[in-house]
Amino acid sequence: GAVVSQHPSWVICKSGTSVKIECRSLDFQATTMFWYRQFPKQSLMLMATSNEGSKATYEQGVEKDKFLINHASLTLSTLTVTSAHPEDSSFYICSARHASTDTQYFGPGTRLTVL
Amino acid sequence: AQSVTQPDIHITVSEGASLELRCNYSYGATPYLFWYVQSPGQGLQLLLKYFSGDTLVQGIKGFEAEFKRSQSSFNLRKPSVHWSDAAEYFCAVGALATGNQFYFGTGTSLTVIP
């Protein structure tokens, strides 16, 4: 139980295009999901907290207009990187909070490369 | 302010040897403590967690961790390391009061020598 999936697992796009990443909790409902960014050989940096049915809460320094987050259902949150640039290339990881266990379960990550 | 410190950036051990990865935290409320493991190019897998009760917690893959409030530590241990344990290990702290937001340490990279 407590499986979180991400799609796609990797994506390559041209500079200036937008990319959508999906995060799904497969066997539980998640009122709260989190989006992280991880640079090579570094820790996870929390980008935003996504609450179902409300606006996401962004961490300081994260551009909300560039990283659009939608949490339309209890099992799905999406992160859209708008007008992507090479500096947005990174590993993006989502997690979903399992309410009954107060534990975050992580997706396998999405490798984004912007050319 | 909340923070998690993993003092060891990289550790190398021989297969079969014991392992201890250090984690210290600073947290204003009663912490929930976690250890996750990440293989290259993968997401994070939960090894174990501590919420309350017995301060020695058992996890998957033969790992255990001990919560020491007086030292603000939550060190991860394994009595005998296997080559498959080579990975990146992250300690994290969170609490219900913050909506379960996690604060991660910078990670410890484990290399296992045959």
User: What pLDDT score does A76 carry?
Assistant: 94
CB of B111 closer than 8 Å to CB of B93? no
Contacts of A56 (CB under 8 A, 6+ apart): A48, A49, A50, A64, A69, A71
* Residue written as token pair 């020598």: B113
User: What pLDDT score does B52 carry?
Assistant: 85
Strand order in the sheet with A19-25: A4-7, A19-25, A76-81, A67-73
Averaged pLDDT of chain B: 90
Q: List the single residue in A with minimal CA-CA distance to B33.
A: A103
Q: Chain A 51-110, CB below 8 Å of chain B: which residues?
A: 91, 93, 95, 97, 102-109
Burial readout B33-49 (b: 16 or more C-beta within 10 A, e: otherwise): bbbbbbeeebbbbbbbb
Q: Chain A 22-41, CB below 8 Å of chain B: which residues?
A: 32, 34, 41
Q: E strands of chain B, at which residues?
A: 3-5, 10-14, 19-21, 24-26, 32-38, 44-50, 56-58, 64-68, 73-78, 87-94, 102-104, 108-113
User: What pLDDT score does B96 carry?
Assistant: 56
User: What pLDDT score does A104 carry?
Assistant: 86
* CA contacts within 13 A on the Cβ side of B19: 31
Mean pLDDT of B32-43: 89
How many angstroms away from the CA of B31 is the closest CA of chain A? 12
Q: Does residue A111 belong to the interface with chain B, where contact is any CB pair within 8 Å?
A: yes
User: What pLDDT score does B29 carry?
Assistant: 72
Where is A49: in which H helix or E strand? strand A44-51
Taking an 8 Å cut-off on Cβ atoms, the answer to whether B43 and A46 are in contact is no
CB of B92 closer than 8 Å to CB of A45? no
pLDDT digits (tens, 9 = 90+) for A29-46: 988 999 999 887 788 888
Mean pLDDT of B2-29: 92
* Cα–Cα distance measured from residue B28 to residue B6, given in angstroms and rounded to the nearest whole number: 18
User: What pLDDT score does A25 carry?
Assistant: 94
